[in-house]
Amino acid sequence: MTQLRVRYLGLQPYEPSLQAMQDFTDSRDAETVDEIWLLQHEPVFTQGQAGKDEHLLQQTHIPIIKTDRGGQVTYHGPGQLIAYMLIDLKRLGIGVRQLVTLMEEAIIDTLAQWQVTAYGKPDAPGVYVDKAKIASLGLRVRKGCSFHGLALNVDMDLEPFLTINPCGYAGLDMVQLADFADQPTVATVSEQLLHHLTKKLGYTKVEIEA
């Protein structure tokens, strides 16, 4: 039996969430139950390990935080669904590339429930609609366990993306589900995404914590 604990964390500042993920991963052992954290973040730019300052196009009042996930710079804010994937990859028998693919497929299947056709790119992790990016992925693996995860734009202020090269790509357009569907909510999309993630990862017992 593969067990999963899901935590709904609401709106959170970024830095305490980062610390909590790191602490969870550092302290877990072979018996620790995998977790998925579903939340939104207060406005923040995060710069991954490969992040270059040249991708920050102008200064704003929004804080910039360097973090230990893969990838370049992105923006998080209210109305964007975050799913942090605290997964023992060894126990599930998957690699990081397979986890990325499963996350992308779960997002694509979620968007299909809103009649939105989306796709992934082999050379640029994330999910796209009509050449514009709707979801970003960034992971870190430590001791065979993943943390960080995905960010799906649901119904948010996209303007801060204009002040960066999102994920290091100049001129990359960012879109959100609300551009294509009628009044999507983070709560509804969270339930749909969770269903697809747990199914694809093969969890047989799911415990929910509000």
pLDDT tens digits, 6-44: 999 999 999 999 999 999 999 999 999 999 999 999 999
Determine contact, residues 13/39, Cβ cutoff 8 Å.
no
Residue located via tokens 């018996």 = 31
pLDDT digits (tens, 9 = 90+) for 31-41: 999 999 999 99
Q: Calculate the CA 28 to chain-centre distance.
A: 21
Instruction: For residue 36, give the nearest of 79, 118, 99 by alpha carbon.
Output: 99
**The pLDDT of residue 53:** 77
**Rounded CA separation 135/36 (Å):** 17
Neighbour order of strands in the sheet with 44-47 = 64-66, 44-47, 73-76
The reported pLDDT for the residue numbered 50 is 76
Task: Note the pLDDT of residue 102.
Answer: 98
d(CA 110, CA 147): 21
pLDDT (mean) for 63-77 = 90
DSSP for 39-75 reads EEE-SEEEE-TT--GGGB-S--SS-EEE-SSSSSEEE
Average pLDDT over residues 137-144: 95
* Measured distance CA(55)–CA(45) in Å, rounded: 11
Whether residue 73 contacts residue 51, with contact meaning beta carbons closer than 8 Å, is answered with yes
Q: Please name the CATH architecture into which domain 3-209 falls.
A: 2-Layer Sandwich (3.30)
Where in the chain are the domains?
3-209
**Averaged pLDDT, 112-121:** 97
Give the whole-angstrom CA distance, residue 37 versus residue 39: 6
Please tell me the distance from the alpha carbon of residue 160 to that of residue 148, in angstroms, as a whole number: 21
Q: What percent of the chain has pLDDT over 90?
A: 80
Q: At residue 49, does pLDDT exceed 90?
A: no
**How many whole angstroms separate alpha carbon 24 and alpha carbon 78?**
24
pLDDT of the residue at 70? 80
Q: What is the pTM of this model?
A: 0.96
**Minimal CA–CA distance to 157: which of 175, 170, 137?**
175
- Return the pLDDT at 72: 84
User: pLDDT band at 129, cuts 50/70/90?
Assistant: very high
Distances in Å between the Cα of 19 and the Cα atoms of 7, 16, 67 are 16, 5, 10
The residues assigned a catalytic role are: 167
DSSP annotation of 174 reads B
Instruction: Report the alpha-carbon distance of residue 109 to residue 71 in Å, rounded.
Output: 24
User: What mean pLDDT comes out for the span 61-89?
Assistant: 93
